Amino acid sequence: MKFAILINEGPYQHQASDSAYLFCKAALAKGHEIRRVFFYHDGVNNSSALTEPPQDDRNIVVRWGKLAEEHKVDLVVCVAAALRRGIKDDNLAAGFRISGLGQLVEAGIEADRLVTFGD
């Protein structure tokens, strides 16, 4: 089955990004496809290349990038929300790309299910 994921909150502040990541890992392990992960609202903050969590904590940004690389998951950051919050190509982490909201709608159309994680 093809899933699309929408993440509305930034890393660390809310559990949303963690839950979404663990959902994606479980879905991939079951042989499902993650068609796209779309980052909206404060969710765009998940793509900051400058993030440096404490060494004994998870690195949410890097973790998403690795998942994308290993499983060819398309991580798309909403350009309008990103500009409002200071995410640009300059500080965009590996594995993410910036694009328009149309990518969310397209994912909703093409995927069998869209699952939202937020606050």
- The contact set with a copy of itself (CB under 8 A) reads 10-13, 41-42, 45, 48-54, 57, 61, 80, 83-88, 90-91
Cβ–Cβ < 8 Å for 96, 82 = no
Does position 32 interact with other proteins (CB under 8 A)? The reply is yes
44 contributes a contact to other proteins by CB under 8 A:
no
Q: Which of 42, 44, 38 is nearest to 88 (CA)?
A: 44
100 binds other proteins (CB under 8 A): yes
C-alpha 67/C-alpha 28 separation (Å) is: 10
**Residue 116 binds which entry of other proteins, a copy of itself, none, with Cβ cut-offs from 5 to 8 Å by kind?**
other proteins
Record the tokens describing residue 88, joined without a space: 């640009």
